[in-house]
Amino acid sequence: MPEDETDPLRAELDEALAQRDATRRELGDLRAWLCRELGILSREPGPEEQAFRSVASDEEIVAAVARLRAEIDALKQPTDGTDLRWSRIDYLILEGRRIQALQSIRDEFGGGIPEALDLLNNRSMRLRQERPEDFITGT
């Protein structure tokens, strides 16, 4: 290819790369800001015993937002005492942590495993109907 034809292509490629790099910086800044606001920055050891803050993954950010939404939803609803107890369990169900949810149901409401499993399945179905977008995991 003659040099005259490659110059515009090179300029166009350089512009696209610059835009990509700017977008990556913006996304990194957004992730760092979200982590700071959500309180999920973690410290990691670095060279010479210095601690560096690391930004959470996108999945961890989304999970933190889901936890906040669950807490806000629990605060918005009128409570007779059982709603608050269920909100903690709902959070576990929405994250797909069924074993922990099952144990929490037994701790909150008593009963054996079969009864707790029935409560868990009923609550899971209800949440899937009412709040399908809040589930972290699939069906």
What DSSP character marks residue 47?
Answer: G
Asked if 73 and 130 sit in the same domain, the reply is yes
- Give the range among 21-25, 67-71, 106-110, 126-130 with minimum mean pLDDT: 67-71
Contacts of 131 by beta carbon, 8 Å cutoff, 6+ apart = 94
User: Domain range holding 26?
Assistant: 3-54
Distance CA(45)–CA(29), nearest Å, equals 21
- Give the range among 2-6, 37-41, 60-64 with minimum mean pLDDT: 2-6
Asked if 11 and 45 sit in the same domain, the reply is yes
Sign of CA pseudo-dihedral 135, 29, 34, 36? positive
Q: Is the pTM of this model over 0.85?
A: no
pLDDT band at 138 (very low <50, low <70, confident <90, very high): low
- Give the range among 27-41, 77-91, 114-128 with minimum mean pLDDT: 77-91
Asked if 36 and 80 sit in the same domain, the reply is no
| Percentage of the chain exceeding pLDDT 70 | 78
Q: Measured between alpha carbons, how far is residue 110 from residues 94, 103, 119 in Å?
A: 21, 10, 11
Total structural domains within the chain: 2
pLDDT band at 14 (very low <50, low <70, confident <90, very high): very high
pLDDT of residue 109: 85
Instruction: Report the pLDDT averaged over residues 14-41.
Output: 91
Asked if 75 and 38 sit in the same domain, the reply is no
Query: CB atoms < 10 A from the CB of 93, how many?
Result: 26
pLDDT of residue 101: 93
Q: Which long-range contacts (CB under 8 A, 24 or more apart) does 48-57 make?
A: 55/28, 55/31, 56/31
What DSSP character marks residue 39?
Answer: T
